[in-house]
């Protein structure tokens, strides 16, 4: 078997987390990863390092320390102001070759996936993508990545015995955000950036960021599927009342009923709301994955045999077009009563 660029014999016994930032703010998934990585590193007694790339992002180090990093490597350069995979892969690769960590974790965001995939090939190592859990065999120093097997019910445990770094990506919402410790401090390491402009082959012509829908942080989630017959208006009303947001199954997203960022499940978002309403959704496993961390699940479906009822706390066999309006009315009348 062909070996990785640096091998297990050359590794340094550290865990690294890629601290993805957008416009100078850490992505939620980076903070979630720090929490889990802290746990893994502690099991082995290894230090935890964060790697942040950007332009004038030094202020992010304190936050990284609070969430568990022992040190933060900062690659700061004007050409890193906009994310381009060419620039970021170039800089992260050189930092990794200096640090030679045993483990390198990144968030499975659009840019995080692009970066991780290119780095894994450049380092000739493996990448366990979209993991649903990460464990550590501290004795062997081996990361064990859990991924859900295709279509249903099975978890595969993956490991990389010989290749380094042991890379894995995890989507937002899979791990909780741990409590920050404002007293924690750490060490800042400045990464020298040697980034010739011609490294960057892509030009950013335009970048538009509107309001961002982030279902991973909602407390109330109202999901619809094909059983909504193309009309999500009642679900939007219910979500507004609950201070929550609307999500959907993949088929409903494919039909264009709601935006892709609202897709819940294995290939969408994994959510951890206090309550999830699941309306007109049969309950295929790849959807259920997205709500398995919900506090309570309410399912409304006209088919009494729908699999979704197996994964729900409160089950209503009935027509969404009469149950959801009744629910809206009950909530509204109760608020009226409270006001009087």
Partner 1 sequence: MSELRLVVCMKVVPKPEEVRVDRMTWRLDRARARAEMNPPDMNALEMALALKDIHAGRVTILSMGPPSFEPYLRLGLAMGADHVCLLSDAMFGGADTLATTYTLAAGIRKLGGADLIFCGEESSDGATGQVPPGLAEWLDLPQITLATQVSLDAAAGTLRGRREIFGGHEVLEMPIPAVVSVKAACNEPRFMDYRRKPWAFETGQVTVWDREDLNAEDSRIGVAGSPTVVSGLDEAAVRERRREFLHGTPDEIARALLERLDRGA
Residues 93-152 that bind partner 1 (CB under 8 A): 108-111, 113-114, 116-118, 120-122, 124-130, 144, 146, 148-152
Q: Is 338 in the site for partner 1 (CB under 8 A)?
A: no
Q: Is 8 in the site for partner 1 (CB under 8 A)?
A: no
Q: What six digits make up the tokens of 219?
A: 């407390």
> Can you tell me whether residue 181 is helix, strand or coil?
coil
Q: Which stretch binds partner 1 (CB under 8 A): 9-17, 175-183, 223-231, 326-334?
A: 326-334
Helical H segments across 45-148, by residue range: 60-66, 85-99, 110-122
The length of the chain, given as a count of residues: 340
What span, in angstroms and rounded, lies between the C-alpha atoms of 32 and 199? 31
What span, in angstroms and rounded, lies between the C-alpha atoms of 312 and 223? 13
Give the shortest CB-313-to-partner 1 separation in angstroms. 4
Q: Which stretch binds partner 1 (CB under 8 A): 36-44, 71-79, 182-190, 312-320?
A: 312-320
Contacts to partner 1 from residues 209-238, by CB under 8 A? 209-214
CB 279 within 8 A of CB 228: yes
Give the residue, chosen from 5, 189, 241, 331, that forms a contact with partner 1 under the rule CB under 8 A: 331
Give the residue, chosen from 43, 217, 229, 322, that forms a contact with partner 1 under the rule CB under 8 A: 322
Burial 198-224 (b: 16+ CB within 10 A, else e): eebeeeeeeeeeeeeeebbebebbbbb
Backbone torsions φ then ψ of 93, nearest 5 degrees: -60, -45
Q: Is 185 in the site for partner 1 (CB under 8 A)?
A: no
CB 73 within 8 A of CB 49: yes
Give the residue, chosen from 7, 58, 204, 230, that forms a contact with partner 1 under the rule CB under 8 A: 204
CB 290 within 8 A of CB 270: yes
Q: Is 318 in the site for partner 1 (CB under 8 A)?
A: yes
Q: What six digits make up the tokens of 226?
A: 């094909």
Question: How far is CA 294 from its chain centroid?
Answer: 16
Contacts to partner 1 from residues 239-278, by CB under 8 A? 254, 256, 260-261, 266-267, 274-275
Give the shortest CB-73-to-partner 1 separation in angstroms. 22
Cβ of 124: how many Cβ atoms within 10 Å?
A: 13
What span, in angstroms and rounded, lies between the C-alpha atoms of 319 and 303? 9
Q: Which stretch binds partner 1 (CB under 8 A): 10-18, 53-61, 227-235, 306-314?
A: 306-314
> Total number of residues binding partner 1 (CB under 8 A)?
95
Site string for partner 1, 16-55 (x = CB under 8 A): ------x---------------------------------
Give the residue, chosen from 25, 59, 187, 334, that forms a contact with partner 1 under the rule CB under 8 A: 334
Give the shortest CB-48-to-partner 1 separation in angstroms. 23
> Can you tell me whether residue 202 is helix, strand or coil?
coil
Q: Is 339 in the site for partner 1 (CB under 8 A)?
A: no
Give the shortest CB-38-to-partner 1 separation in angstroms. 23
């Amino acid at each position: 078997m062909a070996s990785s660029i640096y091998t297990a014999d050359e590794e340094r016994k550290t865990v690294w987390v890629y601290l993805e930032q957008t416009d100078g703010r850490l992505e939620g998934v980076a903070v979630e990863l720090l929490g889990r990585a802290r746990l893994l590193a502690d099991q082995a007694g290894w230090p935890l390092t964060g790697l942040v790339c950007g332009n004038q992002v030094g202020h992010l180090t304190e936050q990284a320390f609070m969430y568990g990093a022992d040190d933060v490597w900062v690659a700061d350069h004007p050409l890193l102001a906009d994310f381009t995979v060419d620039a970021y892969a170039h800089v992260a690769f050189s930092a990794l070759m200096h640090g030679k960590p045993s483990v390198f974790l990144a968030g499975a965001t659009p840019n995080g996936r692009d970066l991780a995939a290119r780095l894994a090939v450049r380092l000739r190592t493996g990448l366990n993508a979209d993991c649903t859990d990460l464990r550590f065999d501290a004795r062997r120093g081996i990361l064990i990545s859990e991924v859900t097997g295709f279509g249903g019910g099975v978890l595969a445990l993956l490991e990389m015995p010989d290749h380094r770094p042991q890379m894995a990506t995890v989507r937002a919402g899979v791990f909780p955000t741990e409590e920050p410790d404002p007293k924690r401090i750490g060490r800042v390491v400045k990464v020298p950036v040697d980034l010739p402009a011609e490294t960057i082959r892509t030009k950013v012509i335009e970048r538009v960021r509107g309001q961002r829908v982030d279902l991973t942080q909602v407390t109330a989630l109202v999901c619809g599927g094909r059983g909504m017959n193309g009309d999500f208006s009642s679900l939007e009303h219910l979500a507004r009342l609950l201070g929550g947001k609307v999500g959907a199954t993949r088929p409903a997203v494919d039909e264009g009923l709601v935006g892709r960022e609202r897709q819940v499940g294995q290939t969408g978002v994994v959510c951890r709301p206090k309550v999830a309403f699941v309306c007109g959704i049969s309950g295929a496993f790849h959807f259920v994955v997205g709500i398995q961390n919900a506090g309570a699940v309410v399912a409304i479906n006209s088919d009494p045999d729908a699999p979704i009822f197996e994964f729900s706390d409160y089950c209503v066999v009935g027509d969404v077009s009469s149950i959801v309006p009744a629910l809206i009315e009950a909530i509204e009348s109760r608020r009226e009563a409270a006001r009087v």
